[in-house]
Amino acid sequence: MSKGYNNRPTGNPKTQPRQKKVREEDYTRDNEQREIAAKNRTPKKDPRAKLPATVAEQLAKLKERGCIVEDEEFALETLTNINYFRLAHYFSLYLQKDGKYREGTKFNDVLLVYDFDRKFRSLLMGTLEEIEIAFRAHCSNYHAIKYGATGYLNADTFSHVHNHKSFLSRISRLVESNEDSEMVQHYLKKHAGQFPLWVIMELFSFGGLNLFYADLKPSDKMDISKKQYNTSSGDLEMKLHRMSDLRNHCAHYHRLYDWEMGDIHSSEGTVFEYILIMKELYRQPFKWRDGFLRQFRRLYYDYKDVVELSMLGFPEDWLDILSEEKSGDKS
């Protein structure tokens, strides 16, 4: 029974005191006054909430913890242009259990580690882009030649685990979200929206590309993995999943230095282990040596006074490992 029902007046209505009639304008005015009061009411402070700090206060906090600041003007300018929270991820590498930084921790040295990490991410992103583009070509060429340019519209060209309705819906959303691009406009106007697979593939993310491969027929996956990567389809899926994780890690500017990838992703491993997978998928030893490896060596030697490669999982013989060729590699 409702509360309103219990509060109804009982007895003879004629003997009850007359209720004051509330006019609509009174109701509206009262509501407005209540809303204004609610807006002006001071919200309760959450004791767990952190208070914002000025750049000067941020620098003072670093110094209080034992950070050596040799050029305060430069440090203030740096904190103005780089969020303190982002740099804190790098300062935390030097933090001791007592809340103080290790003796000799310098602001400029921490910033150099930050710079190394930033450039390292960019280098990885460039190499991952080449791996992704090559994999797109391998998948689209194989599927289109075997099943036709628009064979992907037929559910029979995929395995039994494939959800074709969901797949087509995802493609429709991709076309819609990219309808302003010249490529999409061309096929909408000139080809009645009939997109060949190699065009649709350009709209897929790395993760979407991996899902496409995972849903192929087992025999088709095996053909691609053996011919292009000299490995099993299951091994290729695992490696591509890890490369997708690495790409997302770098694309969101997460720290690589002293970071176990499993801390934020489903797949695990040190950064060096991820680079080994990247090397296997690159499949062009000459470009690997003269491209990624040469650039990484130059980057490391520029920062070797502050960077320890062991913090990235690199063994002492890392250069030999990353330089060696395996049988079957293409030149």
pLDDT tens string, the chain, 331 residues long: the values are 444 434 444 444 444 444 444 454 454 455 556 565 555 555 566 555 566 889 999 999 999 999 999 999 999 999 999 999 999 999 999 999 999 999 999 999 999 999 999 999 999 999 999 999 999 999 999 999 999 999 999 999 999 999 999 999 999 999 999 988 888 888 888 888 788 999 999 999 999 999 999 999 999 999 999 999 999 999 999 999 999 999 999 999 999 998 866 644 455 688 999 999 999 999 888 889 999 999 999 999 999 999 999 999 999 999 999 998 765 554 4
Chosen domain end from 105, 128, 163: 105
Residue with tokens 């935390």: 92
* Residue-range definition of the domain harbouring residue 68: 55-105
Same domain, 73 and 155: no
Same domain, 74 and 175: no
So what's the pLDDT on residue 4?
A: 41
The residue type at 59: L
So what's the pLDDT on residue 189?
A: 85
So what's the pLDDT on residue 284?
A: 84
**Rg of the chain in Å (alpha carbons):** 30
Domain membership of residue 198 (yes or no) is yes
Domain membership of residue 301 (yes or no) is yes
So what's the pLDDT on residue 7?
A: 42
Domain membership of residue 165 (yes or no) is yes
**Domain count across the chain:** 2
Same domain, 74 and 200: no
Same domain, 154 and 262: yes
CA distance 212 to 136: 10
Chosen domain end from 63, 85, 105: 105
Same domain, 99 and 119: no
Q: Tell me the CA distances in angstroms from 169 to 153, 164, 174, 306, one per residue in order.
A: 11, 8, 9, 50
Same domain, 228 and 276: yes
Same domain, 192 and 299: yes
Domain membership of residue 33 (yes or no) is no
Domain membership of residue 276 (yes or no) is yes
Same domain, 152 and 67: no
Same domain, 93 and 124: no
So what's the pLDDT on residue 187?
A: 86
Domain membership of residue 188 (yes or no) is yes
Same domain, 222 and 312: yes
Same domain, 66 and 180: no
Domain membership of residue 186 (yes or no) is yes
pTM: 0.78
Domain membership of residue 28 (yes or no) is no
Same domain, 83 and 177: no
